[in-house]
Structures are given as C-alpha cells and as structure tokens.
Amino acid sequence: MSELQQDAKPLRWLLFIYKVPQEPPGRRTYVWRAMRQMGAIYLQQAAAILPHRPELHDALTRLAAQVLDFGGEVSVLETVSPDAGWQQRLVEQFLQARSREYAEVMENLERFQAEIRKETQMGKFTFAELEDLESDWEKLQRWRERVERRDFFNAPSRQEVVEASEQARTALEGFSATVYASEGVEAAGQDIQA
C-alpha cells in the first residue's frame, strides 16, 4: 500500500458487496436502485462504495437486511483509501456522476423557465396553469435536493444549478403575481419555496 500525500487525508469508505438470486426478477434492480438513490459508485458488478457517513451506514444496514431477506449474500465493510491516487480517482467518479445528474436538473430547469416564458407570451395567466407550474416546481426542487444529498464532494456544477433554481423561482413568483393580478385576487403570502 503506498502512502497518501501529506495534504490528502485518507477518506473512510463503506463497501457494499452483494449477491442476489436471479429469481424472482426485480430484486437485483431493487438493490441497484437503492444504491443509486444513495449515490453509490460501483467498483465492479455487485460491489459499490460510498463515503463513510452514519446515515449511509444505517441505510446500507437496512439494505443488507433486505438482501438477506431476498435469500442473497451481503457484506458491509468499512475501509480507508489505500493511496492518494486511488482516492482522487474515486472522488472524481463521484463528481462526474453528480455532474451528470446536475446537468439533467439544469436541463429541466431551463425547460421549466421556457414553459413560463411561453405561457407568459400566450397570456395564459390562469390558476390552473399556475397550479401546474407550481407542481412542476415542487418536483424539480425535490429532485435537486436528492442530488444535493448525494453530492458528497460538492460537484462544481452544483452552484450553477443553485443559481438557475433561484432564477426559475423568481420567474415563477413573477408569473404567480401576474396570475393573481389578472384574476383580481390579492396574493397573500405567495412566496415560492426555493
């Protein structure tokens, strides 16, 4: 094992290695989705890794119990980075995975703002349209929050998504104010959550 560079403290990791029976179908997908939702990176088939955090350890423990219930095999191991190069490559994989997810969120935020512009140009200032936009906004925010929870190493694109979210929220607030004004209703406490 080579030594880590002095300025790079070795990180602690949780390694999840499992084997799930092929039948009945869907159980492997269940585990894969659970690992994806946690933000895991696969080192190889059925061997995933996450930063060592109490909430992730608890989630992996619950998932391990489920794998055993499926009739599978599972190990949840704690480890540390063997060297600085390995650690940097792994952190880069996490950053790339989150950057791809942030790019999807950004694309949807842009689509959301385009929808507001379209409805504004059409003069479609109705409560029904506002309700649809607010529903879309809530979904976008939940999605962004999920990505942020698994952004363990602060991907560079995170700030861009935060700024785009703020712009989208401002656009939605403006649209909302226009809907209330055009409907002749006073907008009491209409603050769109970021």
Domain assignment of residue 188, yes or no: no
**Is 53 found in the same domain as 115?**
no
- Return the CATH number at 36: 3.30.70.240
Residue at which a domain ends, from 30, 47, 80: 80
Domain stop point among 50, 80, 110: 80
The answer to the question of residue 7 being in a domain is no
- pLDDT tens per residue across all 194 residues of the chain: 334 444 568 999 999 999 999 998 899 999 999 999 999 999 999 999 999 999 999 999 999 999 999 999 999 999 999 999 999 999 999 999 999 999 999 999 999 999 999 999 999 999 999 999 999 999 999 999 999 999 999 999 999 999 999 999 999 999 999 999 988 877 655 556 55
Which range marks the domain in which residue 139 is found? 95-182
pLDDT for residue 185: 79
Task: Give yes or no: residues 168 and 138 share one domain.
Answer: yes
The answer to whether residues 153 and 115 belong to one domain is yes
The pLDDT, as a whole number, for residue 6 is: 46
Question: Residues 161, 99: one domain?
Answer: yes
168 found inside a domain = yes
Q: Point out the domain boundary residue: 80, 108, 132.
A: 80
Looking at the 3D structure of the chain, how many domains does it have?
2
Domain membership of residue 193 (yes or no) is: no
Between CA 14 and CA 152 the distance in angstroms is: 13
Nearest to 30 by CA among 58, 65, 66: 66
Note the pTM of the prediction, 2 decimals.
Answer: 0.86
Q: Is residue 115 part of a domain?
A: yes
- Determine, yes or no, domain membership for 129: yes
Domain shared by 68 and 102, yes or no:
no
In a domain, 178, yes or no: yes
**pLDDT for the residue numbered 190:** 53
Residues 70 and 122 in one domain: no
Asked whether residue 59 falls in the same domain as residue 127, the answer is no
Please tell me whether residues 75 and 118 are part of one structural domain: no
